[in-house]
Amino acid sequence: MGLPTFKKGIHPNDNKSFTNHKPIEYLPIPEEVFIPLQQHIGVAGDVLVEKGQEVKTGQVIGKSEKFVSAPVHASITGTVKAVDQFLHPLGIKATMIHIEKTAEEDEWETINAPENWETASIEDLRNLIWQAGIVGLGGAAFPTHVKLAPPKEKEINTFILNGVECEPFLTADHRAMLEMGDKMLIGMSIIMKILGTENGYIGIENNKPDAIEIMNELVSKKFPAFKVVPLKVKYPQGAEKMLIEAIVKRRVPAGGLPMDVGTVVNNVGTALAVANAVVEGKPLIERIVTVTGQGITEPKNLMVRIGTPFKTLMESCGGLKESAIQVYMGGPMMGFAQYDMNVPIVKATSGIICQEKSDIFKKKTYPCIQCGNCVSVCPMNLLPTRLSSFAEMVKLEEAEEFGILNCIECGSCSYVCPSNIPLVQWIRVGKLQVSESKRKKVA
């Protein structure tokens, strides 16, 4: 029997050899940072600072009292230069706080961590995670304290730590597991204490044998309750619904959440951030970013402050090559193309990928030949070809009936389409239109 995995999915070339052997480098504290108020799913915070104010590293500068939100913190010690609209890596203008560095050394403003987390109350721990502004660092940026507060009727019996990193090119989670595995497992223990579950799994794809080995070693030494599960290499295994299917063989119902099958999934980076917050009292002000691709002179894994402009990272990697023509934030399958290198690193930035002309195939689109390739790879068992044409024809009711809202936008359908139809792009447009029209109906 082979290694566990989920049904369907694709096998893109993983391209991880650019950076998977390179230790994480700490980028020097940047001269300036731009911190967007909204870096998470949910309500954007209100600005708590004003122009000219001095801020310390870790100070809360944006916060909302709403439950589904996360505060943002100053990531350097300096002066607030402006609170204005700047370009966000998602291609929109958003309110950001521009801070200029004044001190070479960090002056910290930490959160009140308990002396011993093992005796702290669950409520306190959850509150601490909220204060630290922790969101899902895998890319979706869903506030973690919300995920860790499932409604009473949903009994959570399984926790999965997501070390899959199925997007090609990215190696940030891989390096974190190798270098900070110990702390990460403490974070996992904290999360499991909050959830009150005993079953902890760590899912890692088989293309990271060194990470599996190190994790196994740590688990057998200190955390015997956890189980490391090597997985067959396949995309999109890092999507939480697929990972649940692969490890515990449960299928999240359509329109449901992982908690409906008694499971919670968190990224390894998130567990690390939880440990930092609870054990050391450090809010989420930095993250690991993989800067990679054929188009960058020296690919690296960097630990950077949130809000650092892209160009600062690129300079430290030797800059873009002449031949580079496209830069993405995130992985190549689900990332966002960028046109301005002044955009900042946000909590959801897992990587910056710089591609050369030869990597990008601008192919002609042909009509659908009804081959069914997209149907056979869709991990959510949808019909991408139907959904995309419904979206194209603005047939929103039909699209909803065919389950367009269940699409996880993994892009597998577009990847396999022999006619180069922009399937996932259309489905995304359709999804947004459907949810918009639903919102209008409610209002």
Contacts with another protein, residue ranges (CB under 8 A)? 90-93, 326, 336-337, 339-340, 362, 392, 394, 422, 425-426, 428-429, 432-433
Minimum CB distance to another protein, residue 422 (Å) = 5
Tokens linked to 239: 């999507």
Whether omega before 236 lies within 30 degrees of 0, making that bond cis, reads yes
Nearer to another protein, 339 or 439 (CB): 339
Closest CA to 128 of 329, 273, 251: 273
Minimum CB distance to another protein, residue 421 (Å) = 10
Question: Would you say 357 and 325 are in contact if contact means Cβ atoms under 8 Å apart?
Answer: yes
Nearer to another protein, 68 or 337 (CB): 337
Minimum CB distance to another protein, residue 118 (Å) = 46
Nearer to another protein, 108 or 336 (CB): 336
SS3 394: coil
Tokens linked to 199: 């079953």
Question: Would you say 411 and 440 are in contact if contact means Cβ atoms under 8 Å apart?
Answer: no
Minimum CB distance to another protein, residue 220 (Å) = 47
Closest CA to 289 of 306, 267, 272, 311: 306
Question: Would you say 378 and 412 are in contact if contact means Cβ atoms under 8 Å apart?
Answer: yes
Question: Would you say 76 and 33 are in contact if contact means Cβ atoms under 8 Å apart?
Answer: yes
Minimum CB distance to another protein, residue 378 (Å) = 19
Determine the residue type at 383: L
Minimum CB distance to another protein, residue 51 (Å) = 17
Query: Whose structure tokens read 């507060």?
Result: 149
Nearer to another protein, 206 or 326 (CB): 326
Q: How many CB atoms within 10 Å of residue 385?
A: 23
Cα–Cα distance between 222 and 274 in angstroms, integer? 18
Strand partners, 95: 85
Nearer to another protein, 92 or 369 (CB): 92
SS3 26: strand
Nearer to another protein, 126 or 428 (CB): 428
Minimum CB distance to another protein, residue 339 (Å) = 4
Minimum CB distance to another protein, residue 337 (Å) = 7
Nearer to another protein, 87 or 190 (CB): 87
Question: Would you say 91 and 84 are in contact if contact means Cβ atoms under 8 Å apart?
Answer: no
Nearer to another protein, 294 or 435 (CB): 435
